[in-house]
Amino acid sequence: MTTWNVRVNGREVSVEAPPMARVLDVLRESLGLTGSKEGCGEGECGSCTVLLDGRPTCACLVPIFQVEGRELCTVEGVAGTELDPLQRVMIEAGGVQCGACTPGIVVSLRALLDRDPRPTRAAVRESIAGNLCRCTGYERILRAVEELVGSEEADA
Amino acid sequence: MRSFRILTPRDVATAVDQLPATRGPATREDARVLAGGQDILTELKHDLIAPEALVDLSSIAGLEGHERTPDGGLRIGAMTRLVDLERDASLAGAFAVLREAAASVASPQIRTQATVGGNLCQRPRCAYYRHSHAPCIKKGGSECFAATGHNKYNAIFGGGPSYIVHPSDLAPALVALNAEAVVVGPRGERRMPLENFFTLPSEGSILRENVLGKNEVLSELIVPKPADGTVSTYLKFRERESYDFALVAVACTLRIDGSKLASASLVLGGVAPIPWRATRAEVLLANAEVGVDLVRRAAQASIEGAAPLSENGYKLPLTRNLVWKALTALGAGGAR
Amino acid sequence: MSFMQEEKRPGKKKIKTTRVVNGLDVEEEVWVDDLEAPLFKPREECRLLGTRMKRVDGPAKLTGAAEYTSDVRLEGMLYAKVLLCPFGRAKVKIDAAPALASKGCVHARQLVDETKYLGQPVAVVAAATPELAEDALRALVVEYEPLPWVLDRGQALAEGAPEVRSRGNLGRPTEDGDAGEVEAAFAQCAVVVEQEYSVPVQHHVCLETHGTVVDYRGGEDAIVYCSTQSTHGIVGDAAESLGLRKAQVRGIVQHMGGGFGSKFGLERAGTLACEISREQKRPVHLMWNREAEFLTSGNRTGAWQRVKAGANKDGRMLAMSSDVERYGGIGGGSHAGLPYLYSVEKSLRKHASVYMHLDTNCAMRAPGHPQASFAMESVVDELAAGLGMDAVEFRKRNLNSPAHLRQLDRVAELIGWNEHPNRTAPGSVDGFEAVGIGFGCSRWGVGGSPVCQVDVRVMNDGSVTAEVGSQDLGTGTRTYLAAIVAEELGRPLDGVQARLGDSRMGNANGSGGSTTTPSLAPAVQDAARQMRGVLSVAAAEHFGCAPEEVVLDPDGARAPGGKLTWLELCALLPPEGASVRGTWQSDLAVSGVACTQAARVRVDLLTGRVKVEKMVCLQECGRPLNRLALESQIRGAMTQALSYALLEERRVDPQLGIALSADLETYKIAGSLEIPEFVALVDDDDLREGVAGVGEPPVIPGAGAIANAVFNACGVRLRHLPLTPDKVLNAIEERKSS
């Protein structure tokens, strides 16, 4: 066991874990942040997507030792006390059903919008290409975001 | 995951020291290099390897990042994240192939962590190789199960005794750009054309896909300056568009001078155990007059010599047609 | 309407009331809601029902606050994991001692000596953390002695094949029809098609895997958190595994990450968790990993379907003979039968199960129907093409229900069929790409049952709860539970707190067969109407009027005698508030909903890529409760059908006896780039007052519609799902060279 210092959702956190502990386990087991879900454990479903230094990352494929001194943002940290507009439009558009993929999708979209506040429709689509959803059919999620940011270009 | 040591060297020489002292392909237990981790962590999970140590390259200064060389080429550190190539809009013209290849890899989440070196050195995706209870020839067994089993995703060129396809998207792109690989070992640095870095199952060791010894580290890629006016593209065809490995991919660079093709480079992905240079098509294209007929003949030549297995005959027309699309898109068929 | 006729209005009645007109009391008759008849308000009077309501659990799901079974964390909890047999069948010898000796491991044991199917759990361990449980699994010393297996049809039916079950690997066929009559009918046909159609085994791919967390620490009570479609359905099994009585076990299902038919009982993960918890007297967390989800949690039956069908020159289907094999692993499989939906005058059919050493099939979103629909819609299309007849027209001549006839016209219009060039003959493989349109129809029984008990309570501080031990699979149950009550009581949606997913609450059925809504919503409405009666009586006493004269609206209560705010009204209640229990009302549930879909595809003739560009669905559902949720269900169903049509397929290696598609890389489901434009429409011509669920019907016809669209585009008929580029391209090349 080693102590790791990581900034999680804007807070400095010290956590004990073996160096190869997956970031996902540290978040869920040690820090009680269970918003990030484990859907496959192999980077194929995107349910555990978190931001690592602002970039979307599968928390199941990063060992904690590689995150020392860096910054993580989980779905719990995407919004403050109020829902952010992205979360609001996803609800309004019907972009959530069972909700197991939702945290990962919110984080992927947040990463996109932080980087590019006016993404093209193709970019919105690509931003969640690594997030599998079995309920909603994605379409409302895409439309919700496109409407939120006013994406204009047609899909390539 | 079984327990092992984590080593975090600060320079490449130390990393090499921490790798096994002997040469040859790594065994299941040998220490391994950890780069972006997006492949090796799943290999560990499935017990395909059980190394005694992981040598993490992420603390080594200078391995991450890419830059233009003074002569107009590119230097790409092995730890450069794919997302940084994908987002570099200056990778256009001759280098567009590289940017497009990087952008086509896996999913956005994977590309933020996955590295150039890792992409080039990742292990095969063949479902038999990845299955911990299929003792296939790539894992030290005696048989390639894909040869007689499910082989829809397997090789049509260069197969035997293993029929894996090389999963890298950057490999065809970088080979098409005539990149050189820089490999660091106990006796210092050696350089080779990236094309020679990869080995067929019938030539190098069946246990690996390249010349890298277990005590060596791929440290950087050097792309020479392409001739002015070179254009390029990477066409990747995936069964599932959202994210997938290539069924077939075409990396193509060419330069048109007047009505002639001054140079053309055509390298295929997803069809062979290595990035596969479509030599016959390149020969046809070299110094030829542009035109639709040339493109058609080159596309046909790109699949000459293919030896499909029971389930992957579709890769022939697919390859031919993708080559046609790539050449046409780049203007080899004449003005559009 | 004549003045003299006795007028009837559903849910309404006439009462006599006294009104003051010019200072004089005048008695007159007025229409009021019949508080004894728990009908929904007329559609036009509804503020909430029938609109697009945001799901009430949206914020919790969007922020990660929603607690799923896998998220439950309890003091002293053990994490359990299982080891799966990698082979089709094997004898198993396991030394668990090294695992038990590993750090943090408190439980490790072998589960079976001999496995019955590929991927069967053979050992279970439990340890203090997930990592330690993983370590313990690796510490098990396992020896497999592979036994002969059968993993495909050929192996199963080969002479001397090992028997999956004692009565042989080919189940006894069921047959019906008169061969002579069918033969005679074929003789009358102007066109006859004889083909084989197959569908692979499909997986549910719930994003949250199967699993259970048991909170038992010895003593007499246990709480079982489970990712299940049946909160009440798990209690009995859990009690048995824990050695407790049913009354001592409480099932909790607050949020669950998808079921699609695969999560009805406690399942193996649940019984194992209970057994370990019972032994250890500690809470136990056991979630399947993705591999177990693929190999041992059920699947949709695969099928091989030989079909011969014929139609006369007027486009009437006169004869069909079919021979269907179901592939349901060690289970019998399910298949809805042929002919499916369309009427065929004479039919002869034979169905049989072929058993293999693979995990049993189970319910999956319209069990047995998509398989039959794919073959039927394909053969219907082939007959239409054979006659050179418009595919929509041909369908209309062979469908009986008026709903389908009007839906076909509307869907044809929405997809652009009437302007499409290939209405009577398909396009060709010449050129670079081709666009085509295909159709499919379905019908689903739905129907509710009298099982739900819904409790609505209003406290004298104005707070309202609606609760029932049902579950919300993500479909929106929680939202309409609140909305129905809010509608009836004149409250805003957030003025009613919906509670479900607790077996201590009123009874409810498991969520299967699209029956949740038609079973539950009528009971909710019954309770809501009763509560409205209670509040109306309280207000009527206050105002001195008849209860029926009281109107509840967002301002509170009003009556001829005055107004009360909601808080003033509730303050009239006794300190303990008021509570009522609602039960099922048959008038409020409908049976039988029709669905029609169309797909427009673009086929890349150079690569074999089938790109679905647009899908239209028109779905009957009786009275729509929440359009947002309904449309979402429809889109999700179309997506699963698209994914079934284009990508999904279980693969095994029959020689090695291993699985080759037990992860999300090799088992491909549709992602964001596969998604077309969806037009998901609730069929508002369905004016029935009752409600229906729509989980199943829109998943049925999509695959057939897509395959038909591919044919329509380029004349290439593909009869074996999935329509992956290799198959499509091979077929295109073959057609080009012929």
Q: Tell me the domain boundaries of chain A.
A: 2-78, 85-149
CA atoms in the 13 A half-sphere facing the CB of C77: 21
| Architecture of the A2-78 domain | Roll (3.10)
Enumerate residue ranges in chain B where pLDDT < 70: 1-2, 336
Interface test with A, best of C51, C53, C57, C62 (most A CBs within 10 A): C62
Residue B120 · residue B173 · CB < 8 Å: no
Band the pLDDT of C390: cuts 50, 70, 90. Answer: very high
Q: How confident is the model at residue C25 (pLDDT cuts 50, 70, 90)?
A: confident
Cβ–Cβ under 8 Å, residues C672 and C639: no
- Residue A10, CB-side half-sphere exposure with 13 Å CA sphere: 6
Segment A76-98, tens digit of pLDDT: 999 877 899 999 999 999 999 99
- Measured between alpha carbons, how far is B332 from B325 in angstroms, rounded to an integer? 10
What per-residue confidence (pLDDT) applies to C36? 82
Q: How far is CA C109 from each of CA C106, C140, C730, rounded to the nearest angstrom?
A: 10, 9, 50
Query: Do C356 and C329 meet the contact criterion of CB atoms below 8 Å apart?
Result: yes
Asked whether C391 and C412 are in contact (CB, 8 A), the reply is no
Q: HSE (CB half, 13 Å, CA atoms) of A100? A: 30
Give the separation between CA C212 and CA C221, rounded to whole angstroms.
16
Burial of C121 (0-12, 13-18, 19+ CB in 10 A): buried
Contact call for residues B235 and B326 (beta carbons, < 8 A): yes
Model pLDDT for residues C57-98, shown as the tens digit of each residue: 999 999 999 999 999 999 999 999 999 999 999 999 999 999
Distance CA C416, CA C10 (A): 39
Comparing CA positions, the residue from C145, C120, C150, C91 lying closest to residue C655 is C150
Smallest CA-to-CA distance from C57 within A145, A9, A100 is with A100
Other C-beta atoms closer than 10 Å to the C-beta of C110 total: 16
Look up tokens 């607690």; give the residue.
C67
Q: Distance (Å) from the C-alpha of residue B36 to the closest C-alpha of chain A?
A: 8
ipTM score here?
0.97
pLDDT grade, residue A155 (50/70/90)?
Answer: very low
| Dist. CA B265–CA B251, nearest whole Å | 8
A1 pLDDT more than 90: no
Q: What residues does B220 pair with on adjacent strands?
A: B77, B182
- Note whether A129 contacts B243, CB cutoff 8 Å: yes
Task: Using a pLDDT cut of 70, give the percent of chain C over it.
Answer: 99
Measured CA to CA in angstroms, residue C620 lies from B240, B250, C34, C51 at distances of 32, 47, 27, 16
Please name the residues in contact with C681: beta carbons below 8 A apart, sequence gap of 6 or more. Answer: C414, C616, C617, C618, C619, C631, C634
pLDDT at C166: 93
Q: Which residues pair with C578 in a beta bridge?
A: C458
Q: Chains touching chain B at 3 or more Cβ pairs under 8 angstroms? A: A, C
Q: Alpha-carbon distance C52 to A145, whole Å?
A: 18
Domain A85-149 classified CATH 1.10.150.120? yes
Find which of C52, C63, C254, C480 to mutate to test the A interface (most A CBs within 10 Å of its CB).
C63
* pTM over the 0.90 mark: yes
C64 and A36 within 8 Å at the Cβ level: the answer is yes
User: Residue C78: which residues within 8 A CB-CB, separation 6 or more?
Assistant: C106, C107, C126, C127, C128, C133, C276, C277, C280, C282, C283, C284, C285
Q: Where does the pLDDT of residue A152 fall: very low under 50, low under 70, confident under 90, or very high at 90 and above? A: low
| Amino acid (1-letter code) at residue C667 | Y
Contacts of C684 (CB under 8 A, 6+ apart): C624
Q: How far apart are CA C534 and CA C531, in angstroms?
A: 5
Cα separation, C119 vs C514, whole angstroms? 30
User: Using CA atoms, how far apart are residues C300 and B167, in angstroms rounded to an integer?
Assistant: 31
Q: Give the β-pairing of B217-223 and B180-185.
A: antiparallel
Query: Interhelix angle for C725-737 vs C702-714, to 10°?
Result: 30
Q: A139-149 and C627-646 are packed helices; what angle lies between their axes, rounded to 10 degrees?
A: 120
Cis amide leading into C339 (omega within 30): yes
Distance CA C430, CA C289 (A): 47
Which chain C positions have a beta carbon within 8 Å of A128's beta carbon?
671-672
Say whether C660 and B325 touch across the interface (CB within 8 A). Answer: no
Q: Is C419 on the interface with A (CB under 8 A)?
A: no
Q: Closest chain B residue to A138 measured between Cα atoms?
A: B242
What are the chain A neighbours of C473 within 8 Å (beta carbons)?
A: 98
User: For residue A28, what is the nearest residue in chain C, using CA coordinates?
Assistant: C71
Put simply, the answer to whether B314 touches C725 (Cβ < 8 Å) is yes
Task: Return the residue of B nearest to A124 by Cα.
Answer: B108
**What is the average pLDDT value for chain C, to the nearest integer?**
96
Domains and CATH numbers, chain B: 231-329 (3.30.390.50)
Chain centre distance of CA C566: 38
Q: By C-alpha distance, which of B186, B167, B156, B144 is closest to B21? A: B186
Contact residues on chain C for B150, CB-CB shorter than 8 A: 651, 653, 660
Which chain B residues contact residue C651 at CB under 8 A?
127, 150
The domains of chain C, with CATH numbers, are: 69-148+210-287 (3.90.1170.50), 380-446+590-737 (3.30.365.10), 448-588 (3.30.365.10)
* C55/A38 CB distance under 8 A: no
Tokens of C662: 């037990």
Chain A residues closer than 8 Å to B112 by CB: 52, 55-57
pLDDT of residue C2 exceeding 50, the answer is no
Q: How far apart are CA C519 and CA C507, in angstroms?
A: 11
Digit-coded pLDDT (tens) for B140-199: 999 999 999 999 999 999 999 999 999 999 999 999 999 999 999 999 999 999 999 999
β C174-176/C346-354 pair status: antiparallel
Find the radius of gyration of the CA atoms of chain B.
19
Pairwise CA distance, residues C599 & C616, whole Å: 6
Which of B287, B279, B285, B283 is closest to B327 using CA atoms? B285
Token pair belonging to C418? 């009437």
Chains that touch A (3 or more CB pairs under 8 A): B, C
Please give the pLDDT value at position B102: 98
> Coil, strand or helix: which one is B145?
helix
Contacting B with CB below 8 Å, chain C residues are 86-87, 134, 138, 606-609, 647, 651, 653, 655-656, 658-661, 665-666, 668, 670-674, 724-727, 729-730, 733
Residues of A in contact with C229 (CB under 8 A): none
Give the relative orientation of helices A85-93 and A102-115 as an angle to the nearest 10 degrees: 130
Determine contact: B296 vs chain C, CB below 8 A. Answer: no
Pairing of strands C90-95, C105-110: unpaired
**Has residue C719 got a pLDDT over 90?**
yes
- To which residue do tokens 């559903």 refer? C10
How far is the alpha carbon of A61 from chain B, nearest alpha carbon, in Å? Answer: 6
Structure tokens at C146: 């592979």
End-to-end CA, chain C = 68
* β B53-56/B231-238 pair status: unpaired
Residue A147: is its pLDDT beyond 90?
Answer: no
Mutate to test the interface with B, among A1, A20, A40, A125 (most CBs of B within 10 A): A20
pLDDT on residue A156: 39
Would the pLDDT of A107 be above 60?
yes
How far apart CA B317 and CA B302 sit, in angstroms, is 10
Question: DSSP for C602-636?
Answer: EEETTT--EEEEEEEEEE--BS-SBHHHHHHHHHH
Cα–Cα separations (whole angstroms), residue B50 to A19, B3, C202 = 16, 9, 34
- Concatenate the DSSP letters of all residues of B75-103 into one string: EEETT-BHHHHHT-TT--GGGHHHHHHHH
User: Strand pairing of C454-458 and C578-582?
Assistant: antiparallel
Put simply, the chain C residues between 640 and 659 with a CB less than 8 A from any chain A CB are: 640
Cα gap B208→A115, rounded to integer Å: 39
Q: What is residue C182's predicted lDDT score, i.e. its pLDDT?
A: 98
Tell me how close the Cα of C674 comes to any Cα of chain B, in angstroms: 7
